[in-house]
Amino acid sequence: MLIPTTFASNFQCTQQKNGSRENTTAGDLICCGKQRFALEYEGEIKYNLWGTTYLLSQNGRVALTARCKECGRNILVFDNASMGYDRQSETAKPGCGNPMRCRRCGENNFFVSICLEYPDDQDLQDLDTPDTGNAFTWIRVTLKCNNCGKKHSKVLDYETG
């Protein structure tokens, strides 16, 4: 399965498509058998007229981490410096100090769904990297508040290359 190493061991796959023209991996974060995470981000949060939440890059930087509510493990979900097709480095930048809050209830306790798009098989081979799981071209992250139930669709919707 194509998946970034940073959350491969905390991922419950719900859908996987492999084809000559499409490679997609989708699923939910899981840790300690639970799906309850406190999120922190780097970037800029914006809301549209309907209160939809968007995490956008700020000064070229966007990142998202998830901390398990049970054991405190920190999981790197996305970092545009070290993850994705056009990543610049192999190591994540430190940071991610801003707590994500549910726009409706203010809590930071989310169910986290991630969808990744990859280049086709030929392009992945041409890349000549052992780390194909990190060579995704698009990442979408959807959150569901574990406190009030509000779904925050595509909070992060980011094309990496």
Contacts with Zn ion in 1-60 (CB under 5 A)?
Answer: 31-32
The residue from 148, 151, 153, 161 that contacts Zn ion (CB under 5 A) is 148
Write the CA distances from 161 to 14, 51, 121, integer angstroms.
Answer: 24, 28, 16
The residue from 9, 14, 70, 127 that contacts Zn ion (CB under 5 A) is 70
Beta carbon of residue 46, minimum distance to Zn ion (angstroms, whole number): 18
Nearest of 58, 59, 100 to residue 77 by alpha carbon: 100
- The answer to whether 104 contacts Zn ion (rule: CB under 5 A) is yes
Which residue blocks in the chain are alpha helix, DSSP H? 121-127
Any residues with CB less than 8 A from the CB of 94 and at least 6 apart, and which?
none
Report the distance separating Cα 139 and Cα 145, nearest Å: 20
The residue from 2, 39, 75, 102 that contacts Zn ion (CB under 5 A) is 102
Q: Read off the tokens for 2.
A: 């194509």
The residue from 68, 77, 100, 112 that contacts Zn ion (CB under 5 A) is 68
Residues that bind Zn ion (CB under 5 A): 31-32, 68, 70-71, 73, 102, 104-105, 145, 147-148, 150
